[in-house]
Amino acid sequence: MQKYNDIKKITYAGKQSTDPFTFKYYNPEEKIDGKTMKDHLKFAMSYWHTIAAEGADMFGSGTMDKSFGKTDPLEMFKAKADFAFELMDKLDIEYYCFHDVDIAPEGNSVKESIDYFNTMVDYVYELQKKHNKKLLWATANNFSAPKFMAGAATSPNADVFAVAAAKVKACIDATIKLGGTGYVFWGGREGYETLLNTDMGFELDNLARFLTMARDYGRAKGFKGDFYIEPKPKEPTKHQYDFDVATCMNFLRKYNLTEDFKMNVEANHATLAGHTFNHELRSAIVNDAFGSIDANQGDLLLGWDTDQFPTNVYDTTLCMLEVINAGGFTNGGLNFDAKTRRPSNTLEDILLAYIAGMDTFALGLRLAYDIKADGRIDEFVKNRYASYNSGIGKKIVANQTNLEELADYALNIEDVDVESGRQEYLETILNNIMFK
């Protein structure tokens, strides 16, 4: 197989191609329903998995070296950034996402870390211009350092709350400077292990205070993009406060934050919460909170966030069906919050993994449009509720009836013949469309 450096750019070759370094389904400039595949999918590279992580797990050290031959911290992070933008060029990926600590070394104090970060933001700003790339979203890593062991905004320690605020401020400034269209809050360690040491109500109030301050700061500085919450039910804490979309919506409503905050739905987090990926997407959509997607997949036999590159076509098809029905992405996109498996430890494996993920989503997009064009599934769902189009059903939907009238009406009903849900028939239609 060719080596990383031999490959200049991945291009579309069609599904007959056996060249591993080509796209089989992703044809960036091809238009589907009047929009290029590139604009439909808005792929983003995750800096933390792709540029920072080296494959370490709790049983062993890294299997990849991403120091690029450098030892001086700033020089190393500059080399990482150079690699990141060249990789995006090779893959034809337009967007990227990062945590503060992914792009810059950490210093010996909060101030030194933020100074390094700002230096690297300036460096990345130039690379972004040179390579014609865009920032999808940024976020602050307020969960790795020991001081965040009991949370950041929900830490029992007010100084930790303040440090977290300083980091978020720097990241919002960076997002504005880099023209990012989103800013993410993933809960990190915002949760708890035991109620024996936890004041849950106080911690949730503090989390809301924190998010409100961040929102106010960003808006005052002119940030027009979306703030996102990324739900996750567990890991690292036993009980994460942002369990799933429904839990987050309840939180946002209680603290009047629904105007500015949307959801960044991650596939693997959905399954950890006992939901399907498309359930979480639909929950966001029906709450007017659909924002962005962390595209990955988990392993249903394992109970943690394995962050695998998505290769399950059913999942990506049903996901893209939700995205199309929601009118497509606005500020959001598909960020590959995914990493190569630890034994896939060469640079060309990174290319192969992104090709797998991008092609699987491109195929999902094509199939989602086939499902729309076929129309049988949409038609079935529409007809299933037909009893609400006339008579008493129409009155219910128009809020023109009441419990007494419904009771009188019901007393004259002899028997009700509820229509079959026809699940197996619909699943067959799905297969017929997908495997034509």
Burial profile 98-128: b = 16 or more Cβ within 10 angstroms, e = fewer: bbbbbbbbbeeeeeebbebbeebbebbeebb
Q: Which of residues 302-321 bind ligand XLS (CB under 6 A)?
A: 305
Residues in CB range of 427: below 8 A, 6 or more apart: none
- Min separation Cβ 410 and ligand XLS, Å: 49
CA distances, 73 to each of 128, 370, 426 (Å): 21, 50, 56
Which of 21, 23, 186, 228 touches ligand XLS by CB under 6 A? 186
Q: Which of residues 362-401 bind ligand XLS (CB under 6 A)?
A: none
Structure tokens at 9: 């750019």
Query: What residue has token string 């959905």?
Result: 270
Residue 102 within binding range of ligand XLS, rule CB under 6 A: no
CA distances, 75 to each of 87, 103, 257, 321 (Å): 18, 12, 40, 44
Residue 266 within binding range of Ni ion, rule CB under 5 A: yes
Q: Compute how many other C-beta atoms are within 10 angstroms of the C-beta atom of residue 72.
A: 10
Residue 237 within binding range of ligand XLS, rule CB under 6 A: no
- Min separation Cβ 71 and ligand XLS, Å: 27
Which of 27, 128, 139, 297 touches ligand XLS by CB under 6 A? 139
- Given a contact cutoff of 8 angstroms between Cβ atoms, the answer to whether 21 and 351 are in contact is yes
Catalytic residue among 102, 294, 307, 337: 102
For residue 102, indicate whether it is catalytic: yes
Kindly state the number of chain residues that form the binding site for Ni ion, as judged by CB under 5 A: 4
The angle subtended at Cα 265 by Cα 138 and Cα 257, nearest 5°, is 75
- Min separation Cβ 419 and Ni ion, Å: 40
Question: Of 27 and 340, which CB lies nearer to ligand XLS in the complex structure?
Answer: 340
For residue 275, indicate whether it is catalytic: no
Catalytic residue among 49, 99, 275, 279: 99
- Min separation Cβ 57 and ligand XLS, Å: 15
- Backbone region of residue 183 per phi and psi (left: phi > 0; alpha: psi in -120 to 50; beta: other values): beta
Residue 181 within binding range of ligand XLS, rule CB under 6 A: no
Residue 305 within binding range of Ni ion, rule CB under 5 A: yes
- List active site positions: 99, 102
